[in-house]
Structures are given as structure tokens and as C-alpha cells.
Amino acid sequence: MQIGPHQIDNPVWLAPMAGVTDRPVRVLCRSLGAGMAISEMVHSDVSLWGSQKSDRRLDIENEPGPISVQIAGYDPAMMANAARANEERGADIIDINLGCPAKKVLKKAAGSALMRDEALVAEIFRQVVKSVDIPVTVKMRTGWDHLSKNGPRIAKMAQDLGLQAVTMHGRTRCDMYQGDAEYDTIRQTRDAIQIPLIANGDITSTDKARQVLDATGADAVMIGRGTQGDPWLPGIIAAELNQQVRTHPSIDEQIQVMADLIREIQLFYGERTGVKMARKHMQWFLKRFANGAQAWSKLHPLVDPDDQYQQFKELIDGGGLRDGTERAGQTAD
């Protein structure tokens, strides 16, 4: 598909997940075959930038392009300013967040709350598109609740106002992440727009990706929770959609890749925060194995970054991880 000047041939993308898809994770997933990786959402109030947290979220140094930065907010002028600032920092694409269901975001009338005010959404679209020379896209839900699935209408408005792609999660805000994603509304969105459409929600295997692409007519799929502990999943699905055979590497190779990620996370966040951030990735990874809980019980208490890294690496050969619940491109978002 074409997004502005960017030709994107790989139809399997990594979803933006706050607190998860930081720069080390995005770089790793791209290196393992994900077609795109959208940044964690960044607050559009640039006066709040400069904190350690926002600096990390804004960090796109040495990422493979095209680089898409997601902005969240509710004020059109503020969001336009944030878009312009991210363009100056090297972003290739600006993505507008209309999908986050988190309460702390909704309190600011941002994220999926915006879908209740179509006039405000239209003004945000206008001002952001006008403020930058790079493509603007949007990620949204199907609607606020099941009585107001206005996603197709907002997607058409996005197209008419100059946005160049739409990603839709197949749940309303009120669904949060509960129940099964539904794809009928994404199909209706496909019928309403001609710009690229990316389908998101419960895509955790190649079979499911094919099913969703067929059901929705989308140009690509976006994978979120299924990648937690499994950064290989998008690349495996992308290869299999292209009729290529690809599987997870050996368990020892996987452990080495995850150990390298642990070290990158430690360096990215600093020792104290890095150890905490690395824990969740270790736990997600170990959940994929029948006896992973035993290994996790020994790793969880560690507070020294070198101990954390070395003891995780010791799972190679001597760790005895066994296939059990491992998702080999067949189950698991």
C-alpha cells in the first residue's frame, strides 16, 4: 500500500501500546519482520515534553523508516503543534489517536472519547493535516458503544479531510479489550473509503490474519497483545501470508534475542527503571513455555541489571524451557 510517498509492502504491523512498544521493542519487531511499528502515543501538549517519560516516548533515534509517531489530545491547535514538532524531530508519518480506552486519557476527552464529538474530530483532522508536510493517519475504534458505531463515518471524514490511512480496532470503547473483536464494522469502513485500511483486534495467527483480511477487505493487519513475549509473531505471519515458510527459531536463539532486548531496555531506561520494564517482557516470554513459571519465580526478584541479564541468559541450554503453550504462529492479541 502507499501512504504518501511511502510504499509499504508488508501487511503485518505492530500496534502502538503505551508502556510496551518503546523504541527497543519497535526496533526489534521491525528487525524480525514487522512491516511497520507505530510509536507509543505522545501527549500533544508540548509544554509537558521534557520529562523523562515524554523524552523516551519521543525517542525515534535510529529507527528504520518510515517512522510513524502517534499523538493524543483533544485541542486541535495543540495537536497541530505537536504534529509539526514531531515532523521536525524526524517523524515520517503522524498518527492521530482516537482509540485509546484508558480512563486517564478519557478524562482529558482524548483517545476514543473524541469519537463522541465528530465536529471536534473534523477540526483536529483539518488542523493537523494543514500543519505538516508528511502523511497523517488515524487509529480508532468502531465507536464509543454498540449504539453509536460511527467508525465508518469518521473514517470517510478522515479521507475527505486529507488523511491517508485508517486503522480500526474491532471493538467499541465500552468493550475495552473484552469479548471477541467484530469485523463487520471494519468491512463497512472498507466500503466507505478508498485510502488504506488496517484491521486490528484479536489477530494472533496466520489463519486469523487471513480470515480478517478476507472478512474486512483491509490492506493490512495490526497486531498488539499477541506480540507480547513473541516479537517474532508479526514477521512469521507476514512471511506465511507471502507463501513463505517461517517458524520460531530454536528456544536458545529466542532466549538470546530476548536477553539482548533486556539489555537494550536497561540501557534505554537506566538501571532501576530498566530492570522493572524488562520484567514484563521476561514474564510474557516465559508464559509461552510449559515450565516458564518456574524460571520466572527465580528471575522476578532480581534488582541488579547484570544479574537480571546473566541469569536470563543462563536459560540457554541449562534452562530447560519446554514447548507447551508456545504460540507458533497459530494462536494468541
What is the set of domains in the chain, with CATH numbers? Answer: 2-241 (3.20.20.70), 251-313 (no CATH)
Residues annotated as catalytic (active site), given as ranges: 100
> Which residues does the chain have with pLDDT short of 70?
101-110, 318-319, 324-333
Model pLDDT, residue 31? 97
Model pLDDT, residue 329? 41
**217 Rama class: left (phi>0) / alpha (psi -120 to 50) / beta:** left
Model pLDDT, residue 79? 96
Model pLDDT, residue 141? 93
**Is the alpha carbon torsion for 98, 100, 101, 105 positive or negative?**
negative
Q: pTM of the predicted model, to two decimals? A: 0.92
Q: What is the pLDDT of residues 47-71, one digit of tens each?
A: 889 888 889 999 999 999 999 999 9
Model pLDDT, residue 331? 36
Nearest to 41 by CA among 64, 12, 20: 20
Model pLDDT, residue 332? 35
Model pLDDT, residue 104? 60
Residues 6+ away with beta carbon under 8 Å from 171: 141, 142, 177, 178, 179, 181, 182, 201
DSSP H stretches of helix in the chain: 23-31, 52-57, 76-88, 103-106, 118-131, 151-160, 184-192, 206-216, 233-241, 251-269, 271-286, 292-299, 305-313
